[in-house]
Structure formats: C-alpha cells, structure tokens
Amino acid sequence: MPPLLQVSGLYKVFHGQSSVDGISFDMEQGRCVALLGPNGAGKTTTLRMLAGLMNPSRGRILFEGNPIGDNYRRQIGYLPQAPAFYNWMTGEEYILLASRLSGMGGKAAAGHAAAVLERMGLQDAARRRIGGYSGGMKQRLGLAQALVHSPRLLLLDEPVSALDPIGRREMMELLRDIGKETSVIFSTHVLHDAEEVCDDIIMMNKGRIAEHGTLTSLRAKYNRPVIILRVEEAEEARLWLETLQTRSFILESRLEADGSLLLKVDDIASARSVILREAAERAIPLLRFEAGTLSLEDVFMEAVGG
C-alpha cells in the first residue's frame, strides 16, 4: 500500500525565482498535517500544486501511487486562502453545484448538501444569497463545499487566518473534528493553530521544508533544557545575573522582554543546583525560577531562522 500522498522534489519557479524550492514529503492516510510557515514561505503555491491548479516546474505528486488526474480531483476537497463564490447564488445552490460538479447524483447531492450545511451551522442561511454572508459564514461555506463530496484528502489554505476571534474559535472546533475523520493538510502561519489540530507539522521557510515531524518528535528533537530566571531590581542581583551568563554550563542566554533571563543549558541538574545554591548564599531576591524545555514557538523561530 503506497502512502496517500507522495511529494518528491517539488519546485515552482516564477520569473526565475523559486517560490517552492524542492520540497518532498510523504503523508499517510488519516493524518492531519500542518504546513507551518511565515508569509511568503510558499504554502499557497504548494497547496495550489497539490490541488492540481498549478503545474509544478519540476517534481512529482503521487496520490496512492498514481499521478494526479481527474479521478484525483473527485477525491480532494480544496479551500483556497480567500475563497470567492458566486455571490448571486444561495449557499444551498452553491453547495449543490459543487457536489454535482464532483460527480454526485441529484439525490445524493441534495442529501449531502443539507447535512454539510447543517454541520457548518449554515442551515438558516442556506436559502439566502452568498453576497450577504459575513466573513465567518463564507469561510464555513468554503469548508462546506470542500467537504460535501466526502473527499479523502482535504487541502485547506489558512482557513482561520482571516477570521475574527469568534469565527476562529468556531472554525478551529470544526477543524479538530474533521481532522479526526479524514486526511487533512492545512496551512497556517500561527504555530498555536497547528498544535491545536494536527499531529504532524511541516515547517516551511523560503520555499524549503525546514523541519518535518510529529509534534512529539519535534518537541523531543529540540528538547533543549532551559532555565528561566527573574530577580528583583537590585544592583547585586543584576551583577550576579551577568556573571551567570559566562558560566561554562550555559550554552546561550537571552534577556526576555519582561526582564527575565532565559538560559539554555547543557546539564539541567548541575545548572539548577549551582544557580539555586549561589542565589541562596548571596541572598538574591529571586522572583521566578523555572526549569523546563524550549517551547515549540522557539523551535519554529529557530527552524525558520527568525
């Protein structure tokens, strides 16, 4: 059984500039993959190639071992970054058009359309013109059209980025459910969103894959012990902090915006005992002492070289 999706050596060049610069990854059936990267990383371009809307300049996309074609289009659902509908249609008419274009018969289309509109909370708006929908409703309609034909792979381009906090909340809840049922690739520039719904993360930057793995494996890989310290404003304490930064067990130190000091250390046990002992001996007015590991946010920043 080949994996659901195999992407190998994918390039897209616009006017001599690579927007997607040789990415490769495999995706198993049933996984939820977040394509995480800052603006301009090449997420939209990648998803458009995966949706068959753009031909790669180079490279190959295989769906269950086969090149993508008309049969593939029947099995994917795609939600672009800024979906545009026929505003003169009603939500229901649009979903019916979408499902029929994807090969569903009249009866099945009507049943699925009603069900998916209800699931997206659009049953009351279904008979109204799309032109009068709010941004959140349009995004849910976009998700409805991507889901109506029960696709086996969902491609969602920044599905929550343009929404207000309430719309975001609703959308994230829907996404979490959908992620459990079907295979999903969704792009985002917000790490927190990726962590919330997905098991796998592909970090992209400047058209390349910077990191790829499951959430847990990425956390384990970047499992750098850190100690966070904060002291009261006092001359003696400040001097002590400065001397700390030069110790051999400290790999790197950084002063955070809130005045606390983040120390990356190699051996957390000895670092902890040294710091606590010295602080006690010198009666340093400690406000905060925390020993832990790097957050994924830091991993992301490190991976994209920010």
Partner 1 sequence: MRNTWIFYRKEMLEMLRGYKLLWIPVVFMILGIMQPISAYYMPEILKMSGDVPPGLLESYTLPGAAEVMAKSLGQYGVIGLLVLALSAMNSFAGEREGGTAELVLARPLTPLAAASAKWLAQLTLLVLSLGLGAAGAGYYITLLIGPLPWSAAVSASALYGLWLMCAVSLTLLFSACLRAPAAAFLSLAAAGGLALLHTLLPRPLRWSPAALPKLSAEALLRQEYTSYAWVFPVLSGIALIVLCFLGASLLFDRNKLPRF
Residues that bind ligand ADP (CB under 6 A): 14, 19, 37, 39-45
Binds partner 1 by CB under 8 A, chosen from 17, 39, 88, 243: 88
The answer to the question of residue 101 lying near partner 1 (CB under 8 A) is: yes
Contacting range for Mg ion; rule: CB under 5 A; set: 77-85, 113-121, 130-138, 241-249: 77-85
Kindly state the tokens that stand for 274. Answer: 């040294």
Nearer to partner 1, 55 or 243 (CB): 55
Query: Could you say whether residue 83 binds partner 1 (CB under 8 A)?
Result: yes
The rounded distance, in Å, linking the Cα atoms of 38 and 60 is 24
Strand pairing of 153-157 and 183-188?
Answer: parallel
CB of 187 to ligand ADP, least distance (A): 7
Among 19, 33, 44, 76, binds Mg ion (CB under 5 A): 44
CA distance 103 to 117: 19
Q: Closest distance between Mg ion and the C-beta of residue 143, in Å? A: 17
User: Three-state SS string across 43-56, please?
Assistant: HHHHHHHHCCCCCC
Separation of alpha carbons 127 and 101, rounded Å: 20
169 is a site residue for partner 1 (CB under 8 A): no
Tell me the site size for partner 1, rule CB under 8 A. 28
97 with 89: CB under 8 angstroms?
yes
- Phi and psi at 122, nearest 5°, equal -110, 10
> Which range, of 77-85, 164-172, 190-198, 295-303, touches partner 1 by CB under 8 A?
77-85
Q: Which does residue 45 bind out of ligand ADP, Mg ion, partner 1, none, counting CB within 5 to 8 angstroms by kind?
A: ligand ADP
Angle at 61 between CA 58 and CA 64, to 5 degrees: 160
Q: Measured from the CB of residue 204, what is the shortest distance to Mg ion in angstroms?
A: 11
- The residue ranges of DSSP E strands in the chain, in sequence order, are 5-14, 17-27, 32-36, 58-63, 66-67, 76-79, 153-157, 183-188, 200-205, 208-214, 225-231, 250-255, 261-265, 286-293
- With contact defined as beta carbons under 8 Å apart, do 26 and 36 qualify? no
Output 31 or 43, the one with its CB closest to Mg ion: 43
Q: Is 46 in the site for Mg ion (CB under 5 A)?
A: no
Stretch that binds partner 1, among 74-82, 114-122, 267-275, 290-298 (CB under 8 A): 74-82
Alpha helix ranges (H) inside 182-261: 191-197, 215-221, 235-244
CB 1 to ligand ADP: min, Å? 31
Q: By C-beta, is 31 or 48 nearer to ligand ADP?
A: 48
Residues 103-142 that bind partner 1 (CB under 8 A): 103, 142
- CB burial of 264-292 (b: ≥16 within 10 Å; e: otherwise) equals bbeebeebbeebeeebeeeebeeeeeebe
Q: Which stretch binds Mg ion (CB under 5 A): 74-82, 176-184, 238-246, 287-295?
A: 74-82
Give the length of the chain.
Answer: 306
74: partner contacted, choices ligand ADP, Mg ion, partner 1, none (Cβ within 5-8 A by kind)? partner 1
In the region spanning residues 9 to 28, those forming contacts with partner 1, defined by CB under 8 A, are 14
3-state secondary structure of 136: helix
Kindly list the residues in this chain that would bind partner 1 in the complex (CB under 8 A). 14, 48, 51-54, 70, 73-74, 76, 78, 80, 82-86, 88-89, 93, 97-98, 100-103, 142, 145
Kindly list the residues in this chain that would bind Mg ion in the complex (CB under 5 A). 43-44, 81
